[in-house]
Amino acid sequence: MRAACPNAKTANAKFCNCSYPGCPRQGICCECLRYHLGLRQLPACCFPEAVERTYDRSFERFAQLVNANGP
């Protein structure tokens, strides 16, 4: 049996900006990333606050932000 992640729900939670209520993956970054990558999305922490709150976590939305902000 794998040991529980020592960062889950503690250190990770301090950096989690996700506003989606009740998600069981908050603070468990490996599960969050796996879940969103499977949907061609990125986690909440890849987006600024205003975009994060739209719950559009798509690769396309991320690419729009990158292109809009330039090099």
Among 7, 8, 35, 61, binds ligand SF4 (CB under 6 A): 35
The reply on whether position 12 binds ligand SF4 by CB under 6 A is no
Identify which range of 5-13, 24-32, 59-67 contacts ligand SF4 by CB under 6 A: 24-32
Distances (CA, A) of 53 to 2, 5, 10, 25, 39: 33, 27, 22, 17, 18
Euclidean distance between CA atoms 28 and 10, whole angstroms: 9
Amino acid, res. 14:
K
Instruction: Kindly state whether residue 32 participates in binding ligand SF4, applying the rule CB under 6 A.
Output: yes
Residues within the interface to ligand SF4 (CB under 6 A): 18, 20, 23, 25-26, 32, 35-36, 43-44
